[in-house]
Amino acid sequence: MNTNDDVVYDVIQIGYGPVSEISALMLARQGHRVAVFERWTERYPLPRAVCIDHEIYRVLAANGLRDELPGVSHPAPPYRWFNAEWKELLHIDWSAESISGGTEVNFVHQPTLERMFDRAVRARPEIEVNLGWEVQHVRQTPDYAEVVARHVDSGELRIARARYVLGADGANSMVREAIGGAREDRGFEADWLVIDILPNEGVTLDVPAAAQYCNPARPTTIVPAGVCDGRHYRRWEFMRMPGESREELENEATAWRLLAPWVRPDQATMVRHKLYTFRSLIADTWRRGRLLIAGDAAHVMPPFMGQGMCAGLRDAWNLSWKLHLVLTGQAHDSLLDTYQEERRPHASDIVDLSMYLGKVICIPDAEAAARRDQAFFDGSMPPPPPFPSLTTGLIDRAGGSVAGKLSPHGMVRYQGRIGRFDDVVGLGFTLVLRGPAEKAALTPASADAAQRLGVRIVQLDDEGMAPGAVLDLDGKFGAFMDGHGARAMLVRPDFYVYGSTARSSGIAGLLGRLEAALDRYGVKPSAVESGIACTAASGS
C-alpha cells in the first residue's frame, strides 16, 4: 500500500465529471493543491447535458474560459411546448437577453465542453488527476480526511490525505454515504429513451428548434445537442409508455422507428440511444466535518429545464470561495455551513421547477392531456415558479428586495477599458453606488469600513462624465438597481447580491451588517479581496 504521509492536499475530489473539473480549476486558480481520483481511465465520450444557462456562462468566463466558450457553445432558440395538435402551450424565451449578458441559455456538446475543461485543468500544476483509481473508503480525523483508492488494473492500493474531500461522484455517491443522512425523494420518476444523432453533411432537418411535444401518445423532447467540429448534433427524448418494456425501447430499430417522423437512417448517424430514469432526489446532508458533496451526489432532477449540470456548477462556485477562506486560515470552517444553507434550498426550488415542467409533458392519458391543454388555453394553469434566488445564508435579510438575487452583468467602461464588468472591474465583494449622489454621501467611516473588509467601491455613471466611475454602457446595472429601488448594493464574490439600501444614509448600515456577518465566521479584514478578487488575474 502506497502512503505518503508528508503530502496533505488541500482538497481531494472524487469523480472527474464537469463539476469536479470546474471545482478543481476554481480552487487551483486560488492557489490550492487538489488531487482528483476517478475510477474510469478514459473520459465518457457521449453527451449527457446539452445546455448551460447565462449564470454558468458568466461563471466559466470568470474562471479563465471566456475566450474559448464561443467555440464550444451556441445561443439557444426559444423553448416551445406544444400539445398533440402542435398548438403552443408554453413559451420560454431562452433566446432573450439575460441579466448576465447574452442569451438566457447556450447549447453545448458536453464531450467538447469537457475537453475544454480538461485542458484547463491539465494546465494547472496545482491539480493532480488520477484516472483509473477507484476510491474504496473515505474517513476523517480531527486533522485531515483520508481516502483509500485501488488502481483498477494493477490492484495497487493508495492512501491519500487532504484537509477536505469533495464528493462529485454522482448519484450513487460513496461520499454521500460516508456523510450519512437520507435523500428526499420528491416523487418524480419516468423512463425516457435519449437519442443523439448527427445529421449527414448537407442535410437540413425539418424539426422544431427546441420543443416539448406534449402528445399523450408519446411525450417527446426535441432539442439541439451542441456543436462539435462545426457540426450540429440533435437530441430526441421519448417517454416509455405504460406496458412498454425497457428492452423493447432500447432496441436500435425501435429508436429509428420513433425518429421516423423527423429523420431517416440515410439522413443521419445515430450517436447513441440509451434509456434513462429521470428522478427528483435531494440529499439531506451536504457536509459533515471535512466531507462535502456537490452535483448529482447532492441533487438529481428531471432534465426539462436543462439545469442538472448547471446546478452542480453552482455548487462548485458557491463552495470554492468559501473553501479558499477556510484553507488559508482567513475564516472559521463554520463558513462552510453556509454552503448547504444556501445551495440546498436553491437546488430544491430548481428540482420543483423541473418537476412542474415534467408533470406538464409526462401525461400518457389523452383525457388528462386534454384537461391540461384546456387549462393552458383558458389561463387556469398556474405559471411555472420563478427561477430561484438565494433565501438563506450569507445574505442581508434587511437588505431590500434585491438581497439574494443574481446581480447584473453587462458591458462597461472603467478606467479607460471597455469590456464585461467582471473583466474590467474584477471579482470579489463589490459595493455598487447608483450615482454621484451616493458617492458624495459615502462617509469616511464607510469608506474605511469597505477598505477594511476588502470591498471594492464602484460608482455608476449614466453620462460618462464622472472620473473613475463605471459607465454602464448597456444600462443593465442602472435598470436593475432602479427596478429594485436600490441606491447602493453589495455584490458577493459569486455574483449574488448580499444586500442593498434604498437611501444613501443606509450605506453605513449595509457595510456594518456585512462586517458583522463575516465576523461570525471569523473572516479577517480584506480576506475576500486577497483571495477571490485576485483569481481574475491569476491566469486561465
pTM: 0.95
CA distance 198 to 479: 42
Rounded to 10°, the helix 18-29/110-122 angle is 30
Look at residue 457 in the predicted model and tell me its pLDDT: 96
**Residue position matching grid coordinates 439575460:** 98
| Residue 11 and residue 324 in contact, taking contact as beta carbons nearer than 8 Å | no
Look at residue 479 in the predicted model and tell me its pLDDT: 95
Residues pairing with 80 in the sheet: 91, 211
| Residue 350 and residue 304 in contact, taking contact as beta carbons nearer than 8 Å | no
Cell of 360: 406538464
Look at residue 397 in the predicted model and tell me its pLDDT: 85
Burial class (CB in 10 A: 0-12, 13-18, 19+), 382: exposed
Look at residue 536 in the predicted model and tell me its pLDDT: 40
Look at residue 528 in the predicted model and tell me its pLDDT: 52
Look at residue 4 in the predicted model and tell me its pLDDT: 59
**Domains in the chain, CATH or no CATH each:** 2-70+110-184+280-359 (3.50.50.60), 411-537 (3.40.30)
Q: Pseudo-torsion of CA 318, 324, 325, 329, nearest 10°?
A: 150
Pairing of strands 456-461, 470-472: parallel
CA distance 92 to 357: 11
Handedness of CA 150, 153, 156, 159 (dihedral sign): negative
Which among 390, 144, 110 is positioned nearest to 291, based on CA atoms? 144
Look at residue 539 in the predicted model and tell me its pLDDT: 37
| Residue 18 and residue 24 in contact, taking contact as beta carbons nearer than 8 Å | no
Look at residue 291 in the predicted model and tell me its pLDDT: 98
Which among 311, 453, 466 is positioned nearest to 387, based on CA atoms? 311
Look at residue 538 in the predicted model and tell me its pLDDT: 40
CA distance 140 to 324: 20
Which among 538, 531, 431, 540 is positioned nearest to 10, based on CA atoms? 531
Please identify every stretch of the chain with a pLDDT value under 70, giving residue numbers as ranges: 1-6, 525-540
| Residue 210 and residue 94 in contact, taking contact as beta carbons nearer than 8 Å | yes
- For residue 424, the tally of other CB atoms under 10 A from its CB is 17
Look at residue 371 in the predicted model and tell me its pLDDT: 97
Mark out the alpha helices in 265-334 (DSSP H runs). Answer: 308-327
CA distance 210 to 226: 12
CA distance 353 to 72: 27
Look at residue 537 in the predicted model and tell me its pLDDT: 37
Residues pairing with 135 in the sheet: 149
